[in-house]
Structure 1
Amino acid sequence: MNSELLTARFVSLLGEAGVRENEPMSAHTTFKTGGPADLMLLPRTEEGLVSVLRVLREEGTPYVVIGRGSNLLVSDEGIRGAVVKLAQGMDDIDVREGRIIAQTGASLKALCLESIRAGLAGLEFAGGIPGALGGAVYMNAGAYGGEMKDHMTSVRVVDRALGIREIPAAEMDFSYRHSAAMEKGYIVLGAAFSLPAGDPQLSLDKMNEFNARRREKQPLAYPSAGSTFKRPKGNYAGTLIESCGLKGFSIGGAQVSEKHAGFIINTGSAFSRDIYELILHVKEVVLQETGVVLEPEVKMLGEF
């Protein structure tokens, strides 16, 4: 099927607002870099998502699924095929009797605030993490001693056979920045949490304290993907990078943050290639000087 007919088929499924051609990925990543995607598809329901995935497979069109782009580095050449973005329309949060059920596109900040309003505790650590629930579940995001898995009871997914399943959290193989979704090709549709009762004011104060610490220590004024590298066992990536004298080191518009060496930032003019080359340089220097292999947290999409 030619591209015009394929686009028309997606418009019939999603409407014109749900299909974009040659969409700049710089508008969909927190690094604010990345070339165009041939197609961007924006389903607003689970059924719409499954229909889109079925057509993509039938036509042999390569695709990637993203959320709010907070942990992605997209090539300057863009992405061939389709990007399926799960955000608006798939971001409901439902609170009932100590449980929260949230869809994949719900922001972590909104999730945290809704839990606090309901007098529930346990998600305060997530109030300042950028991005959406789907990606956070996929990689078991965490901060300040908390992780997504901590109060999670189940995860709703689309599996490789395009079936929708509810999987107990205990079967998701959660560990540091890891879940079974990575190995099994699951697309996260949402998750359910069972949270203890808490004092709303104390929870709000706790979230605000965490966010104040973020503002003090992290370069939030610049586009980034958060922590660039996973925490190596028994150490911290930022500490190792700083010990190697790399704080402030730049390639093009990409810089190892002078505020926190664990962050690579876009100072305003970076290309994805600059960021990618800086990641490689930091890995090489840290390995040579400390013997530690740093593993990026950032997911690369496209050709580098």
Structure 2
Amino acid sequence: MIFVRIYEQLVNIVSTDNVVKNKPLKNHTYTRLGGNADYFVTPTTYEQVQEVVKLATKENIPFMLLGNGSNLIIKDGGIRGIVMYLGKLNNIKVEKTKIIAQSGALIADVSKQGLASHLTGLEFACGIPGSVGGALFMNAGAYGGEIKDVLHQAKIIDKEGNLRTIQAEELDLAYRTSNIPKNGYIVLEAEFALEKGNYEEIKAVMDDLTFKRESKQPLEYPTCGSVFKRPPGYFAGKLIQDSGLQGKQIGGAQVSLKHAGFIINKEGATASEYIALIQYVQKIVKEKFGVELEREVRIIGED
């Protein structure tokens, strides 16, 4: 009975079109892995996000926010309760040297908007596949740049459902981390402070980074991107390569032959196989080099 009541309340908040029961999540992750969500909710306004958060709190229903699924592995058993996806909140606007982007916009699209507006600072993000919200969540970065270099402030909803604007320094942005998960924040939009630049120079940098990414990364297969954080003094991919693990396969998951820092879903892998391969790589690298590889990718859901 509680499930019927929750579904009806969600429909009252976001409409029938924006609530799906028992939704397969594998189409919302870059690895193409994962079971189903009990309720998959796609709000179209900030007020709806607030109301869904308040409902989940009031009814004591498990609640999870899903970004673009680029740095995420969802287990085969899926996710209980409410999964909220902000992909319909994807507006990007430019105000002088600022870009204000909603959480569901792709950070790569924000980078492209910077180019179109002759604004420099977000070139590094041109190939990052995640959403704006996800980019803040993990302080996404590439090729020497990271979100904390350009973020000015963010609009968030806290775990009590309050709408707040907070400054970048309040998010404790560090290497591939922030305090967003600890504080239970939901990012609604981000304001990036950029600088005026030369279109051709910005484009040249972005073209160069795009070439490097496409030539070195196995983008032809489903993958979560770089699986591991860079260990101090080492490169994760080099350690994995030197451990003789390129091509190692468990089920349909394989350590990429193109870039050892990537694990690909080569042949219809399950999440369990993918996770088992991650753990195997960690074990072998620890045995051979004494280095603990820390995951960059998040693993959530039920077995």
TM tier relative to shorter chain: over 0.9
* Higher alpha-carbon deviation: 223-232 or 186-195: 186-195
2:21 is aligned with 1:24: no
Once the two structures are TM-superposed, the CA of residue 268 in structure 1 deviates from its matched residue by 3.0
The sequence identity of aligned pairs, in percent, is: 43
Instruction: Give the alignment of 1:73-152 within 5 angstroms.
Output: 73-88=73-88, 90-152=89-151
Once the two structures are TM-superposed, the CA of residue 182 in structure 1 deviates from its matched residue by 2.9
For residues 182 and 8 of structure 1, what CA distance do their matches in structure 2 show?
28
With structure 2 as the length reference, what TM-score do the two structures score?
Answer: 0.98
For residues 33 and 215 of structure 2, what CA distance do their matches in structure 1 show?
25
Three-state SS of the structure 2 residue aligned to 1:27 is helix
Match of 2:298 in 1: 299
Three-state SS of the structure 1 residue aligned to 2:196 is coil
With structure 1 as the length reference, what TM-score do the two structures score?
Answer: 0.97
Match of 1:47 in 2: 47
- The question of whether the paired residues in 1 share the 8 Å contact of 2:231 and 2:293 is answered with yes
Three-state SS of the structure 2 residue aligned to 1:225 is strand
For residues 154 and 192 of structure 2, what CA distance do their matches in structure 1 show?
9
Structure 2 residues without counterparts, runs of 5 or longer: none
Once the two structures are TM-superposed, the CA of residue 303 in structure 1 deviates from its matched residue by 2.2
- The question of whether the paired residues in 1 share the 8 Å contact of 2:51 and 2:161 is answered with no
Match of 2:233 in 1: 234
Three-state SS of the structure 1 residue aligned to 2:120 is coil
Aligned residues: 303
* Higher alpha-carbon deviation: 30-39 or 155-164: 155-164
Structure 1 residues without counterparts, runs of 5 or longer: none
For residues 182 and 13 of structure 2, what CA distance do their matches in structure 1 show?
29
Instruction: Give the alignment of 1:60-71 within 5 angstroms.
Output: 60-71=60-71
Computed over aligned residues only, the root mean square deviation of the Cα atoms, in angstroms, reads 1.0
- The question of whether the paired residues in 1 share the 8 Å contact of 2:101 and 2:191 is answered with yes
Match of 2:275 in 1: 276
Deviations 1:114-134 (A, max 9, x none): 111111001111011101000
For residues 171 and 68 of structure 1, what CA distance do their matches in structure 2 show?
24
For residues 14 and 234 of structure 1, what CA distance do their matches in structure 2 show?
49
Deviations 1:164-195 (A, max 9, x none): 11111122211101112132221111111111
For residues 230 and 12 of structure 2, what CA distance do their matches in structure 1 show?
45
Three-state SS of the structure 1 residue aligned to 2:13 is helix
Match of 2:156 in 1: 157
For residues 124 and 268 of structure 1, what CA distance do their matches in structure 2 show?
33
